[in-house]
Amino acid sequence: MEYQVFDTTLRDGGQREGISYSVADKLAVAKLLDEFGVGFIEGGWPGAMPKDTEFFARARTELDLKNAVLVAFGATRKANVDVAADPQVQALLDAETPVVCVVAKSDIRHVERALRTTGDENLAMVRDTVRHLVASGRRAFVDCEHFFDGFRHDPEYTASVVRTAIDAGAERVIMCDTNGGMLPSMITKAITEVVERTGVSADLLGIHCQNDTSCAVANTVAAVEAGVKHFQCTANGYGERPGNADLFATVSNIQLKLGLQVLPDGCLEKATRVSSALAEIANIAPDTHQAYVGAAAFAHKAGLHASAIKVDPLLYNHVDPSVVGNDMRILVTEMAGRASIELKSRELGIDLAGHPDTLSTVTQRVKDLEAGGWSFEAADASFELLVRDELLDGKLARPFSLESYRVQVEHRENGSVVSEATVKVRVRGERVIATAEGNGPVNALDEALRAALTQSYPQLKNFELTDFKVRILEGSHGTNAITRVLLETGDGDRDWTTVGVHENIVEASWVALVDALTYGLAEQS
Ligand SMILES: CC(=O)SCCNC(=O)CCNC(=O)[C@H](O)C(C)(C)COP(=O)(O)OP(=O)(O)OC[C@H]1O[C@@H](n2cnc3c(N)ncnc32)[C@H](O)[C@@H]1OP(=O)(O)O
Ligand SMILES: CC(=O)C(=O)O
Residue-wise pLDDT for 40-69, tens only, equals 999 999 999 999 999 999 999 999 999 999
The CA R_g of the chain, rounded to the nearest whole Å, is 30
Q: Does 272 contact ligand 1 (Cβ within 6 A)?
A: no
Q: In the prediction, which pLDDT does 24 show?
A: 95
Q: Is the CB of 16 under 6 A from ligand 2?
A: no
Q: For ligand 1, is residue 417 a contact (CB within 6 Å)?
A: no
What is the average pLDDT across 177-206? 98
Burial code of 373-399, b = ≥16 C-beta within 10 A, e = fewer?
Answer: bbbbbebbbbbbbbbbbbbeeeeeeeb
Q: What is the mean predicted confidence (pLDDT) over 456-477?
A: 86
Query: Taking residues 454-477, what's their average pLDDT?
Result: 87
> 345-357 burial, b for 16+ CB within 10 Å, e for fewer?
beeeebebeebee
pLDDT, averaged across the chain: 96
Instruction: Pick left, alpha or beta for residue 228 (phi over 0 → left; psi -120 to 50 → alpha; otherwise beta).
Output: beta
Which residues have C-beta within 8 Å of that of residue 46, sequence separation ≥ 6?
52, 53, 55, 56, 72, 74, 91, 92, 94, 95
CA distance linking residue 357 with residue 216, whole number of Å:
49
Indicate which atom in ligand 2 lies nearest the CA of residue 178: 6
Ligand 1 pocket, 178 CB below 6 A? yes
pLDDT in tens, 137-148: 999 999 999 999
Do the strands 299-300 and 464-473 form a parallel or antiparallel pair, or are they unpaired? unpaired
Q: Is 90 exceeded by the pLDDT of residue 525? A: no
Residue 340, ligand 1, Cβ within 6 A: no
**Confidence label for 474 from pLDDT (cuts 50, 70 and 90):** confident
| Nearest CA, atom 35, ligand 1 | 115
pLDDT (tens digit per residue) in 281-332: 999 999 999 999 999 999 999 999 999 999 999 999 999 999 999 999 999 9
Whether 143 is in the pocket of ligand 2, judged by its Cβ within 6 Å, is yes
Do 272 and 291 meet the contact criterion of CB atoms below 8 Å apart? no
The helix (H) or strand (E) run that includes residue 173 is: strand 172-177
Separation of CA 407 and ligand 2 centre (Å): 60
Residue 11: count of CB within 10 angstroms of its CB:
22
- Give the distance (Å) from ligand 1 centre to CA of residue 85: 17
Ligand whose nearest atom lies closest to the CA of 80:
1
CA dist., res. 387 & res. 390, Å (int): 5
pLDDT band, very low/low/confident/very high, at 476 (cuts 50, 70, 90): low
How far does residue 82's CA lie from ligand 2's centre (Å)?
Answer: 25
Average the pLDDT over 380-406 and give the result.
96
460, 461, 466, 469 alpha-carbon torsion, rounded to 10°: 50
Q: Give the Å distance between the CA of 149 and the centre of ligand 1.
A: 20
Residue bearing the CA closest to ligand 2, atom 6:
178
Give the distance, in angstroms, between the CA of residue 91 and the centroid of all CA atoms in the same chain. Answer: 33
Q: How far does Cα 116 stand from its chain's mean position? A: 40
3-class secondary structure, 175: strand
User: Closest ligand 2 atom, CA of 147?
Assistant: 5
Say if residue 135's pLDDT is above 90: yes
Q: What pLDDT is stored for residue 524 in this prediction? A: 59
pLDDT at position 117 over 70? yes
Helix H, strand E, coil C: the string for 217-269 is HHHHHHHHHCCCCEEEEEHHHCCCCCCECEHHHHHHHHHHHCCCCCCCCCCHH
Q: Whose CA is nearest to atom 31 of ligand 1?
A: 115
Q: Does any ligand 2 atom lie closer than 6 A to the CB of residue 233?
A: no
Does the pLDDT at position 27 exceed 60?
A: yes
CA of 11 to the centre of ligand 2 (A): 10
- Ligand 2 and 145: CB distance under 6 A: yes
Q: Is residue 426 within 8 Å of 407, Cβ to Cβ?
A: no
Average pLDDT of span 157-179: 98
- Count CB neighbours of 195 within 10 A: 19
The backbone torsions φ and ψ at residue 288, rounded to the nearest 5 degrees and listed phi first, read -65, -20
Counting ligands in written order, the one closest to the CA of 81 is 1
Closest alpha carbon to 4 in 240, 193, 207, 234: 207
Cβ-proximal residues to 322 (8 Å cutoff; 6+ apart), any chain = 269
Overall average pLDDT of the 439-461 stretch: 94
Closest Cα to atom 39, ligand 1: which residue?
104
From the CA of 174, give the closest atom in ligand 2: 1
Contact 360/366 with Cβ under 8 angstroms? no
Give pLDDT, residue 1.
80
